Structure 1
Amino acid sequence: MSRRRVARRSKKSNAGAIAGGSILALLSAAILAAIGYFAYGAYTRPGIDKETKCPDAGPVEITALLIDTTDPVSEKTLTDARNKFEEEIGSTKVGGLVEIYGLTDTKGELTKMFSGCNPGDGSTVDIWTNNPRLRQRQWEEAFGRPLVEVSDKIEQGHAGNQSPIMAGIQNIKLTVFDRYKSLDVPKKLIVMSDMIEHTDLYSQYASGNDFEAYRKSPAYADFRTSLDNISFKVWYINRGIERFSTRAHPEFWAQWIRDNRGDWDKAIMLEGVNPTTPAGGDS
């Protein structure tokens, strides 16, 4: 009897040891899996520049906005522009760079309004490897609030002596897109303007939508620039000038973009009419 009891106890002890060993093995596997998860996340997560919030390897996409501030804009048009502005910024990928410039009436001179990458908000953060609350604050400070301020600055447009749109586009290409020439990422340029080019080298107030007239002007050589692999979109400000409110005007710019090897996307007419005294003469 005693031997049988000892044997039974021995079997129970062995069973308990086996069960305990299995649990320990499962726990060890879980711990190793967790360590592997964190290690993999740390390895695959790109480093972020503290100032720009861009990946150390460079932005995953580049969007530049050129806002024409050489003439005032009505509240109705501004509201429509704000809506499109928020949609565009809201669709920016995490790690995508946005740079915003204001066009002045001096050729090649731009006002830098904003530059930074989307660091992602709290909804894009892995709660196990990051701090959602901290990331949300970074999003608001580095990408959210400044863009609201930029939107408000659009109201500050004033009548200028020139509208050097081509020179502004050329400057953005040289200072923004060429900075990341080696990156094979989507590149997009949006121009918010009435698109009426007017400088001492060439004026559409005099030449209208005639592209050949532009080709024969000194501006053709001076403002020529390589827009390779850059997608181009226009948010049109309607000035109520009939010859610049027809299809011929966007077609001029589509031809200008393609002539400079860029990719014409589309032109969108913003709501409202913004009459002003043209810099180049009567409408």
Structure 2
Amino acid sequence: MPRYRKRKQATQRKNLIGSLLIFAVLGLVAFLAFFRYELQNKQLAYDTETLCPSNITSPKYVALVFDKSDAYNKIQQQFLRRFFDDFKANLLPGTRISIYVIDAHNNKEIAPDFVVCVPRTGDDANALYENPKLIRQRWHERFEQPLDLAINGFMQPAQADFSPIMEVFQTISLSAFPLGSETVPKQIILISDMLQHTPEWSHYRGQMDFSKLQKTLYYQRINTDLQQAEVNILYVRREGMEKLQNKRHAFFWSDFIQSIGGRVTLIEKIDG
């Protein structure tokens, strides 16, 4: 009997060890499957130039608009650099940024002058299979540096005879906000003195009455749909234009933007 009991106990131990090994193998297989799923989930296809993910909707669409019809002084440039440092730090990964320039070339291609999507910073990297340092380096080299160069370049002056500000909203609607993105948050940030100047409509000629603009064929031609985009205006003060850059001027733009499906949530006079 003692020998039989010992053999039985040995068999039970072997069965227990075997069961534990099976559970360990199953656990390892499950872990490897989860690891592979996570890795594939992170490895989306990206456009090599813009860093924008392919075949998925961005979490947000942002359009930056620089008015190059006049110069920015040093104080204004410093204000804008500080603004964009904070702007970059609060972007969601995958956000698509399209940059536009307002200049005299109103007949140029309906497309952004620069496009980039925000990559991950590495703060949420999984140390098991990702390198946070390399991800951060990619964010800096492929996103931050090119965006900074683009912004600095667009802040350089370029004298122009006209300033077609109203027209740029139509360009943004057609090229920055893709079809099927109606429910995705959208933001437009304009850096401009907001002094519209074209042969059809000019604030320099005292044309500040939006109700009159709305009755013109010109308005019908530039009308568009901003899909409830949030519009922020960084209002650039121009020397000698105090009589034009007043509350009536701000109300004109608020009425115009609302009429084309936008929401003015900020009008901030920048320093300088």
TM-score tier after normalising by the smaller chain length: 0.7 to 0.9
Q: 1:46 Cα shift?
A: 6.4
Match of 1:210 in 2: 209
Distance 1:68 1:168, change over 3 A: same
Total equivalences in the alignment? 267
CA distance in 1, matches of 2:46, 2:139: 14
Q: Which amino acid aligns with 1:235?
A: L
Moved more, 135-144 or 106-115: 106-115
User: Retained in 2: the 8 A contact 1:41–1:129?
Assistant: no
Distance 1:86 1:48, change over 3 A: farther
User: Retained in 2: the 8 A contact 1:187–1:229?
Assistant: yes
CA distance in 2, matches of 1:50, 1:259: 35
TM-score, normalised to structure 1, is 0.84
Structure 2 gaps, min length 5 = none
CA distance in 1, matches of 2:5, 2:38: 49
2:25 to 28, 36, 51: 28
- Tell me whether 1:264 sits opposite 2:232 in the alignment: no
CA distance in 2, matches of 1:191, 1:108: 20
Matches for 1:89-168 after TM superposition, within 5 Å: 89-109=88-108, 112-168=112-168
User: Retained in 1: the 8 A contact 2:112–2:175?
Assistant: no
1:53 to 27, 51, 54: 51
Task: Write out per-residue CA displacement over residues 19-53 of structure 1, whole angstroms, 9 at most, x where no aligned residue.
Answer: 42343134224203312312432454462224232
Task: Write out per-residue CA displacement over residues 243-267 of structure 1, whole angstroms, 9 at most, x where no aligned residue.
Answer: 3433222221110011112222221
Moved more, 75-84 or 27-36: 27-36
CA distance in 1, matches of 2:155, 2:118: 25
Match of 1:38 in 2: 35
Distance 1:108 1:188, change over 3 A: farther
Q: Which amino acid aligns with 1:87?
A: D
- Could you say what secondary structure the match of 2:159 adopts? coil
Moved more, 94-103 or 55-64: 55-64
User: Retained in 1: the 8 A contact 2:201–2:207?
Assistant: no
Moved more, 192-201 or 235-244: 235-244
Moved more, 209-218 or 93-102: 209-218
Match of 1:16 in 2: 13
Q: Which amino acid aligns with 1:49?
A: Y
Match of 1:279 in 2: none
Q: Alignment identity in percent?
A: 25
Task: Write out per-residue CA displacement over residues 96-129 of structure 1, whole angstroms, 9 at most, x where no aligned residue.
Answer: 1111122112225379542121121222322334
User: Retained in 2: the 8 A contact 1:103–1:109?
Assistant: no
CA distance in 1, matches of 2:34, 2:64: 39
TM-score, normalised to structure 2, is 0.87
CA distance in 2, matches of 1:197, 1:108: 16
CA distance in 1, matches of 2:47, 2:215: 48
Q: Which amino acid aligns with 2:172?
A: I
Distance 1:155 1:61, change over 3 A: closer
